């Protein structure tokens, strides 16, 4: 009888030892986290897939999707608004759990954003916001970007620079929030700097060839100009080419902004093509986009009911403060993530 009692007691202790860790594991929040993401579908409609920003976002989302068990479905409209509307509409019919849209301007996708939310799909807007709010926005504060551009103008051409303060502005597309809001930030900041004179303000529609042509004409008409401000590094490579062709590199500052990709940012800063650069760090944006996906799939709010913003921090880069970690490459993101 005593032996039996001891065996029963020992067995109970063993079960308690085994059950303890199992019970703790079951109570862990990790199980709920993985279950919330496993098997889900994420639709993504960028402006186009042919440049660093959208490729970096795709790499980030697909890396996380592979690790957590969700699928990323990409539809590439390649800069076409009509194709973008068709791509978004097609994905709405497929009913993904989240639909991520990069707006080409502030109005073209308004109806599709509304349709996605009405269809019960959690909807995210990246980089540029339409007039219709969605569940989340991820991208820069374009007003702040404009104020940063003015800081670059003042540094290169302001009253303490010894220069004449003459600058030109070459925007992206006039209807794009990245242009509209950035220009508003510039106008606001320039009120405090009357020494800066804008001698030309034109739109290049995000096109490097058009930016080159505009810059070439501006330089011919204003041979004493101090600086040119562009709104996107990919297009502003055209500005840098025009300045170099006119033998004015180092004399005419080129002030720009962009993703912070090494090829289009740090390499050009090191070469003297760009003087003052504001990065919204697309590698970091990939992490932010992944955080939005994780948050929405775990909380599952009613689509359109609790919109929030995840604003990208801005990083100022010049030749003086640039370090090996100031920029990123797609190869690095593919190998080790952001």
pLDDT (0 to 100) of residue 314: 97
Residue 317 CB neighbour total at 10 angstroms: 21
| pLDDT at residue 313 greater than cutoff 90 | yes
Q: What is the distance between the alpha carbons of residues 169 and 234, in angstroms, rounded to a whole number? A: 15
pLDDT (0 to 100) of residue 17: 40
| pLDDT at residue 21 greater than cutoff 60 | no
Q: Do domains 33-140+282-313 and 142-279 have the same CATH topology?
A: yes
pLDDT (0 to 100) of residue 160: 87
CATH superfamily of the domain spanning 33-140+282-313: Response regulator (3.40.50.2300)
Which residue, among 180, 241, 172, has the nearest Cα to 207 in the 3D structure? 172
Mean pLDDT within 260-272: 97
Residue 125 bridge partners (DSSP): 101, 137
pLDDT (0 to 100) of residue 29: 65
Domain boundaries along the sequence of the chain: 33-140+282-313, 142-279
> What CATH number is given for 142-279 in this structure?
3.40.50.2300
Tell me the pLDDT tens digit for each residue of 102-144. 999 999 999 999 999 999 999 999 999 999 999 999 999 999 9
Tell me the pLDDT tens digit for each residue of 176-230. 999 999 999 999 999 999 999 999 999 999 999 999 999 999 999 999 999 999 9
């Amino acid at each position: 009888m005593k032996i039996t009692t001891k065996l029963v007691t020992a067995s109970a202790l063993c079960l308690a030892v085994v059950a303890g860790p199992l019970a703790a594991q079951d109570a862990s929040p990790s199980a709920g986290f993985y279950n919330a993401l496993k098997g889900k579908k994420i639709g993504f409609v960028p402006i186009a897939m042919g440049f660093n920003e959208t490729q970096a976002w795709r790499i980030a989302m697909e890396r996380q999707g592979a690790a957590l068990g969700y699928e990323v479905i990409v539809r590439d409209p390649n800069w076409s608004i009509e194709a973008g509307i068709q791509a978004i509409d097609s994905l709405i019919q497929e009913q993904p759990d989240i639909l991520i849209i990069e707006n080409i301007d502030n109005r073209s996708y308004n109806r599709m954003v509304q349709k996605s939310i009405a269809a019960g799909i959690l909807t995210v807007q990246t980089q540029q916001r339409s007039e219709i709010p969605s569940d989340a926005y991820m991208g820069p504060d374009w007003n702040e970007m404009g104020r940063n551009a003015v800081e670059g103008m003042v540094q290169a051409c302001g009253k303490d620079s010894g220069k004449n303060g003459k600058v030109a502005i070459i925007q992206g597309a006039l209807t794009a929030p990245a242009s509209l809001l950035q220009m508003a930030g510039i106008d606001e900041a320039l009120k405090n700097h009357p020494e800066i004179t804008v001698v030309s303000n034109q739109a290049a529609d995000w096109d490097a060839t058009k930016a080159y042509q505009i810059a070439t004409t501006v330089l011919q008409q204003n041979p004493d100009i101090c600086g040119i401000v562009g709104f996107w590094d990919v297009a502003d490579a055209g500005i840098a080419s025009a300045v170099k062709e006119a033998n004015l590199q180092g004399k005419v500052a080129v002030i720009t902004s962009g993703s912070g990709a090494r090829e289009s940012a740090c390499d050009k800063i090191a070469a003297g093509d760009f003087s003052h650069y504001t990065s919204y760090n697309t590698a970091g944006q990939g992490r932010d986009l992944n955080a939005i996906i994780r948050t929405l799939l775990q909380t599952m709010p009613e689509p359109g009911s609790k919109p929030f913003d995840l604003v990208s921090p801005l990083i100022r880069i010049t030749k003086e403060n640039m370090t090996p970690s100031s920029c990123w490459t797609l190869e690095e993101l593919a190998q080790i993530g952001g």
